[in-house]
Amino acid sequence: MFELLNDSAIRAQFWGSFFASIFALITFAITRLFIGIRKRNRNHYNFLVKMEAKLNQHILLTYQSIYIIEGLRETALAGNVSFNNLDALPVKPVGDFYDLQDVDLINSVFSYDAGLESLNADISNLNSVYSEIRSALLSKQISHQEFQTILPTLPDDLERLAGAWEEQLELNIDLLTQTRLMIKRDKKKSLGLNWLFPRRMKPLTVNAVKAEKLKLQQEIEEIRRLSAERIAKRTR
């Protein structure tokens, strides 16, 4: 009888320890999963905040570039020399794209950066050619008349470049609209199930996007006005 009770106690202890271990493993796995998802959500949100700052900076730099291009074009049409150069925009990512949880947003970021790289290449080529010819003129290797005949297509090239910057600005506005809406949405997330099941861009309604884009465009127009005034003062 004693041996049977002892055997039963051992079995009970074994199964108790076994199920306790299983429960501990499940708890550990769920905890790690929860922590991992929360970390990814936090990284996603931080990426959005940095992206918003980057895009806001690019808006200002884009308007500065367009303003300078217009000045260069007017100078070229008059047959004169300009000492202004165009600046490239930084394309370096603000974070790891794997932190983003929305495929459409990732594609938008890639398209935007690809457009910037193309524009930066055009700017680099234009600056290089123009600087070389300008240096030749200043060192009197060529005459002013020769300078005018060397770049007959410069005004048209500058006009096309300004148009390309305007198109890039539209990409910026669309991407910034998405980013701002996602930041507002993610600020409202609690630490409960919403963190475990993050919402994608689909819940953003068409009306919300239109309203945010209109608000952003109004802000940009004010930035454009202030940027033009600042550049005008600097170039006087």
What is the DSSP track for 183-215? HHHHHT--SSHHHHS---STTS-HHHHHHHHHH
CA distance 172 to 224: 14
pLDDT exceeds 50 at position 199: no
The predicted pLDDT at position 192 comes to 46
How many CB atoms within 10 Å of residue 107?
10
Nearest to 192 by CA among 38, 40, 28, 48: 38
The predicted pLDDT at position 200 comes to 46
Spell out the alpha helix ranges (H) of 100-205.
103-138, 144-150, 154-187, 193-196
- Average of per-residue pLDDT values in the chain: 76
Element spanning 95, H or E: none
pLDDT exceeds 60 at position 2: no
Residue numbers of the domain that contains 48: 2-234
**Which amino acid is residue 169, in one-letter code?**
L
Most confident of 1-5, 32-36, 149-153: 149-153
| Residues 175 and 55: beta-carbon distance below 8 Å | yes
The predicted pLDDT at position 93 comes to 67
Tens digits of residue pLDDT in 93-145: 666 666 777 777 888 888 888 888 888 888 888 888 888 888 888 888 888 78
Q: Which one-letter DSSP state was computed for residue 99?
A: G
- Scan for tokens 């000045």, then name that residue: 71
CA distance 54 to 92: 10
Global pTM exceeds 0.75:
no
The predicted pLDDT at position 42 comes to 78
CA distance 13 to 4: 14
- At residue 221 the predicted structure's pLDDT band, cuts being 50, 70 and 90, is confident
Name which of 80-89, 156-165, 198-207 the model is least confident about.
198-207
CA distance 183 to 204: 12
- Number of domains composing the chain: 1
**Phi and psi angles of residue 49, each rounded to the nearest 5 degrees, phi first:** -65, -45
